[in-house]
């Protein structure tokens, strides 16, 4: 017998949790059975909107330990030597819905929230150092091609390759996605990247550009498409099983944390735009510097409360860390907090998993889910600013140095003068013969059933990376000929749909 009494949410004891309150033994129900109504009403409200992208995810709590010394680049307390910061990670696939199978070929989200003593710093990255598009204007179009076709309600390879072949800036990310690293075995067996260029600034007010890397210490492990099919046939939750199960057993995954640092004025000199999210900074130019180790060592007690309710946003930075002119990053600074207000409610930062561990003082007021207990100023008379009521005041030392920008306002073409190929060539050259063969086969499989004109347009891009790339995919497509397409893709084009 439990020593805890079951209560209503209002705290009153529940006399019977088995039998509803009825008029006579055979019913009907009485509307005064508030406990029954409350139970049904709560069930109706158990679901919140799933994330519009990255809906399927797996997460855990952990620690970031700083072992290196990069204090000359940043004043951020989270990076000072010896600092240990509690953190939360959520990994995800991009396109699948909440119930999607884990072992699907897709980019993986790598979202981190560091509860620093100066506020939460969120790094909302992926397991790839680059992305499919470089202008945020294209992001919703891109995502529409990854989600379901509005008529068939199925994924459409035609839409994917149509968009990619018309957007050559996607080639770098498409190549990673179709390579071995596009299908990691578990979240522990992949790297994470901040992907964007961010900035560091130090006590002297000097700015440096920075890229963040999280290198798996468990080693890279991947599935082939065939292996993944086998896994999915057995379980849809292979990532959850591996991450949750591993941590329960005391096997704590770790990542080596590294940064690449670029002096501010170098951005004017590099042959590529260092704020272009489809590009990496070659390691030979900007060698990775070891900074510390991230370890995941605690499972959530409640998945919904701590992982589904987690709200990561690139807008969450702390003194010593800043943004960059990257157009994608700039849009994300808006988009995530907006998504959270829609998905979780106005005061989503007051949900325990999102709440900073330092004290929060602000003048935002009422609204849905304001569980702060009024405004957070420490004095009920200090509800506006400026005030003479000892309310919280700004801290000028948190002001970052000016961001150098120049140029006239215009809609500049992001396709003109951008080399979309040579970094993909560098990647292609890293692949051994086996990796290349799997790349070709994965692409051929993903392209099956798409219109020839779209395939030709994409093959021309592969040719520009390396003639062997295009030739390899052509050969793999021929080998595939005669086999059934993996996915039905009707209608393929607007014309075909109209026929
Ligand atoms: P380097 O050889 O110095 O760096 C290679 C990087 O590529 C390492 O970070 C390595 O990650 C990663 N890598 C190795 N094999 C693969 C693979 N099969 N798929 C994806 N990534 C892989 O060369 P560069 O810095 O000049 O970069 C060359 C190319 O490597 C780039 O064009 C880019 O496509 C890719 N790359 C570069 C990164 C960078 O920040 N410079 C980061 C990741 C990829 P690991 O150490 O974990 O094996
Ligand atoms: C999730 C928008 C690009 C990584 C999301 C969400 C939105 C969004 C609205 C859902 C947020 C939520 O409901 O919690 C955008 C926009 C982009 C963009 C507008 C481009 C302009 C990127 C890029 C990366 C990325 C470039 C990685 C480098 C993620 C991750 C998540 C996510 C990891 C899941 C976060 C979590 O685990 O909760 N994105 N995104 N996104 N995005 Fe993006």
End-to-end CA, the chain: 69
* β-pair type (289-298, 108-116): unpaired
- Domain extent, residue 443, equals 422-498
Q: Report the CATH number at residue 301.
A: 2.40.180.10
Distance of CA 199 from the midpoint of ligand 1 (Å): 21
Q: Given 336, 354, 372, which residue is the final one in a domain?
A: 354
Is position 363 within any domain? Answer: no
Whether residue 384 is annotated as binding a ligand: the answer is no
Q: Is 337 in the pocket of ligand 2 (CB under 6 A)?
A: no
Does some domain include residue 442?
Answer: yes
Any domain includes 376: no
How do residues 268-279 score in pLDDT, each as one tens digit? 999 999 999 999
Residue 380 lies in a domain: no
pLDDT value at residue 366: 85
Q: Percent of the chain scored above 90 by pLDDT?
A: 90
Q: pLDDT at position 483, please?
A: 58
What's the gap in Å between 427 CA and the centre of ligand 1? 7
Tell me what pLDDT residue 393 has. Answer: 95
| Rounded distance between C-alpha atoms, residue 203 and residue 220, angstroms | 38
Is the separation of the CB atoms in 214 and 90 below 8 Å? Answer: no
Residue 497 has pLDDT above 50, yes or no: no
Which of 125, 430, 436 maximizes ligand 1 atoms within 8 Å of its Cβ, making it the mutation to test the pocket? Answer: 430
Q: How far apart are CA 295 and CA 4, in angstroms?
A: 36
Per-residue pLDDT at 490 exceeds 50: no
Number of folded domains that form the chain: 2
Same domain? 426 vs 350: no
Q: Span 407-415, mean pLDDT?
A: 95
> For the segment 35-48, what is each residue's pLDDT rounded down to a tens digit?
999 999 999 999 99
The verdict on residue 394 lying in a domain is no
Q: Which atom of ligand 1 is nearest to the CA of 220?
A: 47
Active site residue 54: yes
The catalytically annotated residue of 61, 120, 126, 461 is 126
Looking at the CA of 259, name the nearest ligand.
1
> Which ligand 1 atom is at minimum distance from the Cα of 211?
40
Same domain, 132 and 218: yes
Q: For residues 220 and 306, state if they share a domain.
A: yes
Is 160 found in the same domain as 245?
A: yes
Atom of ligand 2 nearest to the CA of 52: 10
Could you say which of 312, 330, 354 is where a domain stops?
354
Residues 459 and 320 in one domain: no
Note whether residue 362 is domain-resident.
Answer: no
The answer as to whether 388 is a domain residue is no
pLDDT of residue 254 exceeding 80? yes
Q: Please give the ipTM for the structure prediction.
A: 0.98
Inside any domain, residue 373: no
In tens, the pLDDT along 345-366 reads: 999 999 999 999 998 898 988 8
C-alpha of residue 88 to centroid of ligand 2, in Å: 16
Domain boundary among 354, 387, 409: 354
Q: Are residues 451 and 334 in the same domain?
A: no
Same structural domain, 95 and 233: yes
Among the ranges given (124-138, 429-443, 477-491), the one the predictor scored with the smallest mean pLDDT: 477-491
**pTM for the whole thing?**
0.95
């Amino acid at each position: 017998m439990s020593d805890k009494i079951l209560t209503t949410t209002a705290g009153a004891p529940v006399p019977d949790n088995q039998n509803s309150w009825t008029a006579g033994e055979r019913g009907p129900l009485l509307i005064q059975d508030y406990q029954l109504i409350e139970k049904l009403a709560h069930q109706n409200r158990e679901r919140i909107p799933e994330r519009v992208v990255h809906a399927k995810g797996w997460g855990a709590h952990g620690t970031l330990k700083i072992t290196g010394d990069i204090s000359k680049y940043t004043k951020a307390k989270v990076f000072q030597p010896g600092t240990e910061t509690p953190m939360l990670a959520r990994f995800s696939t991009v396109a699948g819905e909440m119930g999607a199978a884990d072992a699907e070929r897709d980019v993986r989200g790598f979202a981190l929230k560091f509860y620093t003593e100066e506020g939460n710093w969120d790094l909302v990255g992926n397991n790839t150092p680059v992305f499919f598009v470089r202008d945020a204007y294209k992001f919703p179009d891109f995502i529409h091609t990854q989600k379901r076709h509005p008529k068939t309600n199925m994924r459409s390879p035609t839409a994917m390759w149509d968009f990619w072949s018309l957007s050559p800036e996607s080639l770098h990310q498409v190549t990673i996605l179709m390579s071995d690293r596009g299908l990691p075995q578990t979240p522990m067996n992949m790297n994470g990247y901040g992907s964007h260029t961010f900035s560091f600034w130090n006590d002297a007010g000097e700015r440096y550009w920075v890229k963040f890397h999280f290198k798996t210490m468990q080693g890279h492990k991947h599935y082939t498409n065939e292996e993944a099919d086998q896994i999915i046939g057995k379980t849809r939750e292979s990532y959850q099983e591996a991450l949750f199960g591993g941590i329960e057993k005391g096997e704590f995954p770790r990542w080596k944390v590294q940064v690449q640092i670029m002096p501010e004025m170098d951005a004017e000199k590099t042959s590529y735009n260092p704020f272009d999210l489809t590009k990496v900074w070659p390691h030979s130019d900007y060698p990775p510097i070891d900074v510390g180790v991230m370890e995941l060592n605690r499972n959530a007690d409640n998945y919904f409360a701590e992982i589904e309710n987690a709200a990561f946003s690139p807008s969450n930075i702390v003194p010593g860390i800043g943004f960059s002119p990257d157009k994608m990053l700039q849009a994300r600074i808006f988009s995530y907090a907006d998504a959270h207000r829609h998905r979780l409610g106005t005061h989503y930062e007051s949900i325990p998993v999102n709440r900073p561990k330092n004290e929060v003082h602000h003048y935002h007021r009422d609204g849905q889910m304001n569980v702060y207990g009024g405004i957070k100023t420490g004095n009920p008379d200090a509800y506006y600013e400026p005030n003479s009521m000892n309310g919280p005041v700004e801290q000028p030392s948190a002001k970052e140095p000016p961001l150098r920008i120049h140029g006239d306002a215009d809609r500049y073409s992001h396709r003109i003068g951008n080399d979309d190929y040579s970094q993909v060539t560098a990647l292609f050259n890293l692949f051994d013969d086996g990796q290349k063969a799997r790349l070709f086969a994965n692409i051929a499989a993903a392209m099956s059933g798409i219109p020839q004109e779209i395939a030709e347009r994409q093959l021309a891009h592969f040719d520009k990376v390396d003639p062997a790339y295009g030739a390899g995919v052509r050969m793999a497509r021929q080998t595939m000929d005669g086999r059934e397409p993996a996915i039905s893709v009707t209608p393929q084009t607007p014309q075909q749909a109209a026929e």
